[in-house]
Amino acid sequence: MKQAFRVALGFLILWASVLHAEVRIEITQGVDSARPIGVVPFKWAGPGTPPEDIGKIVGADLRNSGKFNPIDVARMPQQPTSASEVTPAAWTALGIDAVVVGQVQPGADGSYLISYQLVDTSGSPGTVLAQNQYKVTKQWLRYSAHTASDEVFEKLTGIKGAFRTRIAYVVQTNGGKFPYELRVADYDGYNQFTVHRSPEPLMSPAWSPDGSKLAYVTFESGRSALVVQTLANGAIR
């Protein structure tokens, strides 16, 4: 009995040491803390309130990347709307070496002109590192903000931004004639729309290389079938 106990105990000790070895983690590189940055609210040059807060979207994008930490508006030493209005020393005093400023101008034709500038406040104070402008309709306002975020992110990190990425996913609702829905949305969950509804399960959505089509598996015929749907016109093949 004692011998059996010793054998069992030895086995448990050996097994514990194996488990300990399996969960051992070796850290070889640290993770840099998020870089502080200023994303000033974009100046709205129209009446009332803007249809979208472009500066807020850009700030959220940069924060979501994990690479940047936009400071709160309340902590900003100033709220310039162009590079010429930026006082570099006021920002570097807060440890911020880059500031994003911009404007949104509504047009008589219902369009919006969005412009931004990325300003260096440290290395070459006052230098415009990147700038662009986009003329878009209301439905493309968020997309233009994500575009600005991509450009700012790439300029500051050397890594191509991915804030214009769209995601495709399947939702199962409770009851109803079509409980399964294939939906598409911006990476942050906005601009969601339904691509296809089905009484049967939908699976494995996958994008075409150019993002114009979506492939997925449906069971509507009684067996699995792979279909490809063009998002622009809804055509299925």
For residues 82-110, average pLDDT: 97
pLDDT of residue 128: 97
- Strands 112-120 and 128-136, by their bridges, are antiparallel
pLDDT for residue 87: 97
CB 29 within 8 A of CB 116: no
**Average pLDDT in the 157-184 region?**
92
pLDDT at 19: 38
Identify the H or E element spanning 17: helix 2-22
CA distances from 229 to 15, 35, 202, 214, 216 (A): 52, 41, 13, 5, 8
The string of pLDDT tens digits covering residues 186-222 is 999 999 999 999 999 999 999 999 989 999 999 998 8
> Backbone dihedral region of 110: left (phi > 0), alpha (psi from -120 to 50 degrees) or beta?
left
Percent of the chain with pLDDT over 70: 86
Q: Quickly name the fold that domain 35-157 has.
A: Rossmann fold (3.40.50)
- The answer to whether the CB of 209 falls within 8 A of the CB of 190 is no
C-alpha 149/C-alpha 147 separation (Å) is 5
Tens digits of per-residue pLDDT, 136-169?
999 999 999 999 999 999 999 999 999 999 999 9
CA distance linking residue 198 with residue 180, whole number of Å: 5
Q: Where are the domains of the chain?
A: 35-157, 166-230
* Per-chain mean pLDDT for the chain: 88
Mean pLDDT (whole number) for 117-142: 96
Instruction: Give the model's pLDDT for residue 32.
Output: 60
Encode pLDDT of 13-42 as tens digits.
Answer: 333 443 343 344 444 444 468 999 999 999
pTM: 0.80
Q: What percent of the chain has pLDDT over 90?
A: 79
> Could you tell me the two tokens for 110?
């219902």
